[in-house]
Homo-oligomer: A and B are copies of this chain.
Amino acid sequence: MAVVVQKYGGSSVATPEHIKAVADRVRRARESGQDLVVVASAMGKTTDRLLRQASEVSRDPSPREIDQLLATGEEQSVALLAMALHDRGVPAVSLTGPQAGFKITGRYGSGVISEIRPGRIQKLLAEEQVVIVAGFQGMNAMGDVMTLGRGGSDTTAVALAAALGAERCEVYTDVDGVYTADPRIVPEARPISFITPEEMAEMAWRGAKVMHPRAVELGALYGVEIHVRCSFNEEPGTVIAGGRKLEQLETRETLAGIVHDLDVARVALGGIRTGPGTLSRIFTPLAEHGISVDVIVESGTREGTADVAFTVSRANFTEARRLAGEVAASLGGEVEGEEGLGKVSVVGTGMLNRPGYAAKTFATLGEAGIPIRMVSTSEIQVTCVVQAERVEEAVRRLHESFELEERDV
């Protein structure tokens, strides 16, 4: 029988009532003849509540203890979901990440899956059990629980789908799939019915909250078909699938949607001596401190010096500016920083083959009088950094300009 992995996010299991509704959905899926593995996140705001408690007892909680603490959130929701399934006559067993065979390596709070040993899951499936797996966690070489970091439950689900050779991974959330833009900002935005993993990864990295980009990339790597659906209705949602569905790809629009991100800070190194390895000297310390850098701009040299600017999330701003400041000083330059920025990205396949997209993006923002602070382009996206307070307007203007509301998606 075909295995389907379903993943339910925190908003889908926020209360006992929500958990019962999820159990009803799982029961229906099982009655339709699927072998089911269900991955669940922590209930609603549980993770935030636990982090608040941690901050109340410690100014600087140790990452190991944070992981021990946070892992309990998912453990609670899977046990409750198994109980709700029993109450509906559905045989089910809940497993923690370690019990489910997730081996994790890397740093506490941002572990990466090194291996999945799905033996116990497969045995339970053979016993016709629905297997409920705690997302976001696994066991490290010390025998301790380690988490995958925020959004890691998506990664758990997609990795399990890959390890089990599942037919598909269904990701349930509180929205009807992936939208052409945030519907809270653009009321005309519509769900995208089909998107490539590459586009989805770009949209996820650039601000679409509906799915974690790591999970999208993992799905692309292992050819896992992902369906993003709403846990509160029966809408088809968004299918994320790659090359093997090429016939569908060729008939669809090349522009997927507009995404944005209001959590952007900029660090700029000015007047630094440049030469081979300069960029490496700037960015290696950031990587060593686990700071993700997004848009990078190196601007023209003058008298053998250069200006390099990059963006980070606000949480990493202070440390990134400090690290960049040390490098700037050693290279005879200066550092400056700026918070309160945002990004808006136009995402779609084949952007670079259609230079009109970038030009149209710049023209649209220019006509609206929105200054573009930084630009980054790739094969499938054009990203502009603008003032945070102009982001929503930029999203609306671009959605209108590219006529996304008129597409029959």
Give chain A's interface residues, CB within 8 Å of chain B.
Answer: 16-17, 19-20, 23, 50, 53-54, 56-62, 64-66, 68-69, 71-73, 75-76, 78-84, 86-87, 93-94, 96, 99, 143-145
**A143 and B124 alpha carbons, distance in the complex (Å):** 14
Complex contact B94–A79 (CB within 8 A): no
The closest CB in chain B to the CB of A144 belongs to B99
**A84 and B66 alpha carbons, distance in the complex (Å):** 12
Number of copies: 2
CB-defined A-B contacts under 8 Å, sample of 15: A19-B57, A20-B57, A54-B83, A57-B83, A57-B84, A58-B83, A58-B84, A58-B86, A61-B87, A68-B94, A69-B80, A72-B75, A72-B76, A72-B79, A75-B75
Residue in B19, B65, B71, B83 whose CB lies within 8 Å of A65: B83
Complex contact A50–B62 (CB within 8 A): no
Question: Closest Cβ of chain B: how far from A38's Cβ, in Å?
Answer: 14
Given known A-B contacts A58-B86, A58-B87, A53 and B68 have beta carbons under 8 A apart: no
Residue in B16, B57, B71, B96 whose CB lies within 8 Å of A16: B57
Given known A-B contacts A61-B83, A76-B50, A56 and B144 have beta carbons under 8 A apart: no
- Identify 17 new A-B residue pairs, CB closer than 8 A, beyond the known A53-B80, A96-B145: A16-B53, A16-B56, A16-B57, A17-B56, A20-B57, A54-B80, A57-B80, A58-B86, A61-B86, A65-B83, A68-B78, A68-B79, A68-B94, A68-B96, A69-B75, A69-B83, A72-B79
**A149 and B192 alpha carbons, distance in the complex (Å):** 50
A99 CB contacts on chain B under 8 angstroms: 143-144
**A250 and B30 alpha carbons, distance in the complex (Å):** 69
A71 CB contacts on chain B under 8 angstroms: 75
Question: Closest Cβ of chain B: how far from A335's Cβ, in Å?
Answer: 31
A96 CB contacts on chain B under 8 angstroms: 68, 145
Question: Closest Cβ of chain B: how far from A42's Cβ, in Å?
Answer: 10
- Counting from the closest, the 10 A-B pairs by CB-CB distance are A16-B56, A69-B79, A72-B72, A58-B83, A58-B87, A57-B84, A68-B79, A61-B83, A65-B79, A65-B82
A79 CB contacts on chain B under 8 angstroms: 54, 65-66, 68-69, 72
Complex contact A87–B59 (CB within 8 A): yes
A16 CB contacts on chain B under 8 angstroms: 53, 56-57
Complex contact A87–B57 (CB within 8 A): yes
**A86 and B66 alpha carbons, distance in the complex (Å):** 12
A84 CB contacts on chain B under 8 angstroms: 57-58
The closest CB in chain B to the CB of A69 belongs to B79
The closest CB in chain B to the CB of A80 belongs to B57
A72 CB contacts on chain B under 8 angstroms: 72-73, 75-76, 79
Question: Closest Cβ of chain B: how far from A89's Cβ, in Å?
Answer: 11
A87 CB contacts on chain B under 8 angstroms: 57-61
Question: Closest Cβ of chain B: how far from A132's Cβ, in Å?
Answer: 9
**A144 and B61 alpha carbons, distance in the complex (Å):** 28
**A79 and B145 alpha carbons, distance in the complex (Å):** 12
**A73 and B57 alpha carbons, distance in the complex (Å):** 17
Question: Closest Cβ of chain B: how far from A358's Cβ, in Å?
Answer: 48
Question: Closest Cβ of chain B: how far from A216's Cβ, in Å?
Answer: 30
Question: Closest Cβ of chain B: how far from A41's Cβ, in Å?
Answer: 14
Residue in B17, B58, B68, B78 whose CB lies within 8 Å of A75: B68
**A144 and B94 alpha carbons, distance in the complex (Å):** 10
A69 CB contacts on chain B under 8 angstroms: 75-76, 79-80, 83
